[in-house]
Amino acid sequence: MSKEIQQRAKFDMIRYANCWEDAELLLEALNIGSSTKCISIASAGDNSLSLLVKNPEIVYAVDLSIPQIACAEFKKNAIKFLDYPSFLELLGFKTSSRRPDFYKEIESHLSPESKYYFSQNPQIIENGIINVGKFERYFQIFAKYIMPFVLSKKDLRELFLLKSIEAQRIFYETKMNNWRFKALFKVFFSRAAMGRIGRDKEFFKYVDNQTVSSRIKSRADTALTSIPAWNNPYLNYILLSNFDYVLPHFAREENFNIIKKNIDRLVLKTGTINQAAQETGLKFDAFNLSDIFEYMDPQLFKNISRRLIETANTGARFAYWNMLVDRKISEILPERANCLQDLSQKLYEKDKAFFYKAFFVDEVK
């Protein structure tokens, strides 16, 4: 992310308490092995933690936002110092009255900045950190106030119990995708609503004038008729405000144990990813760039891409999403990077975080 967006939008809160990009796509895209050096947009920490499942040499998780780094550090230390059931309770995956007690077990291991942030925001611990981001509150409003006009919670839960795509498609087309859903979706996922209560209006600066809600609705239609709901944590939270049917990748027990073993390979840094990459003095093999290019004008996007390539080994891979703005490194710097088009398309077609318009895997020449 650039200083430009840092100056235009506020970064004094947890915007994302969960990562809203599919971690499983990253793991397939980045070709991580035991000698791989990774650098990753931290966001809420989830996907940077998931990279540890592949046993890389190191993962640097970087973010401009001090609260986002605090969120990632909270999760890192919860994994490191708690057992699995306690971890689930502290983060908010399970109901609990013991979160303050669990927090005390990790508090002394946090940085002074993170400890201060949580001391000023005790509701984060009380409510479970995965529920307190601005984006999560946006989806909580959708689940609580919008979806009851479409389907009962009982019927919505049925969606996650269906175990065939054909049954899911019929459910969506006959029960869910009615005129109320279409009308309410159009309003709730409009540029105005998302900018005000979901993301930040400045995140739409480079979005053209096409209707945002119609684009997202089209992707939702595709996802709900062709991508399994029963193992989709993003859809689970959007519709029900919980992860009752499927946990995010990093929080599944089989992944938790591997991540715990590798947890000290995760290093957190505050700042821009290009500056952080240069400051390490390393050459990286794998880059998780989230959707940071959405917020940059074309020239800044090109400049940042060039700087990142300068910190990359030959054959390094960049993985990143486009949500509403077209950005592709291999198009602006064709002499430096090549798009793995077949792999990009194959992975995009099964992206569980269905609101993105494209996913790209670029390889450094």
Contacts by residues 30-37 (CB-CB < 8 Å, ≥ 24 positions apart): 30/54, 30/286, 30/287, 30/288, 30/317, 30/319, 30/361, 31/286, 31/317, 32/56, 32/285, 32/286, 35/285, 36/285, 36/286, 37/282, 37/283, 37/284, 37/285, 37/286
Is the model's pLDDT at 8 over the cut of 60? Answer: no
What's the confidence (pLDDT) of residue 200? 46
Among 284, 361, 293, 279, which Cα is nearest to 327's? 293
Name the DSSP class of 308.
H
Q: Which residue type sits at 340?
A: L
Which of 15-29, 176-190, 325-339 is the least confident region?
176-190
Q: Which residue has the higher pLDDT, 295 or 108?
A: 108
For range 117-144, the mean pLDDT: 95
Give burial (CB, 10 Å; 0-12/13-18/19+) of 229: buried
Chain-centroid distance, C-alpha 175: 29
**CB 28 within 8 Å of CB 54:** no
Confidence of residue 10 (pLDDT cuts 50, 70, 90): very low
Average pLDDT, the chain: 92
What's the confidence (pLDDT) of residue 294? 87
Is the model's pLDDT at 203 over the cut of 70? Answer: no
CB crowding 79-109: b at 16 or more within 10 Å, else e: bebbeeebbbbbbbbeebeebeebbeebbee
For range 324-352, the mean pLDDT: 96
For the chain, what percent of residues have pLDDT higher than 70? Answer: 91
Match 């240069």 to its residue by tokens: 278
Is the model's pLDDT at 7 over the cut of 60? Answer: no
Match 């710097």 to its residue by tokens: 333
pTM recorded for the entire structure: 0.92
What's the confidence (pLDDT) of residue 192? 66
The predicted-structure confidence for 147-174, as pLDDT tens digits, reads as follows: 999 999 999 999 999 999 999 999 999 9
Is the model's pLDDT at 234 over the cut of 70? Answer: yes
What's the confidence (pLDDT) of residue 206? 43
What's the confidence (pLDDT) of residue 128? 98
What's the confidence (pLDDT) of residue 9? 38
What's the confidence (pLDDT) of residue 214? 86
Match 């840092």 to its residue by tokens: 6
Distance from the first to the final alpha carbon of the chain: 23
Which of 196-210, 247-261, 303-317 is the least confident region?
196-210
What's the confidence (pLDDT) of residue 303? 96
DSSP string, 61-118: EEES-HHHHHHHHHHHHHHHHS-HHHHHHHHTSS--S-HHHHHHHHHTTS-HHHHHHH
Residue 209 three-state SS = coil
Furthest-apart CA atoms within the chain: distance in Å: 56
Name the DSSP class of 149.
G
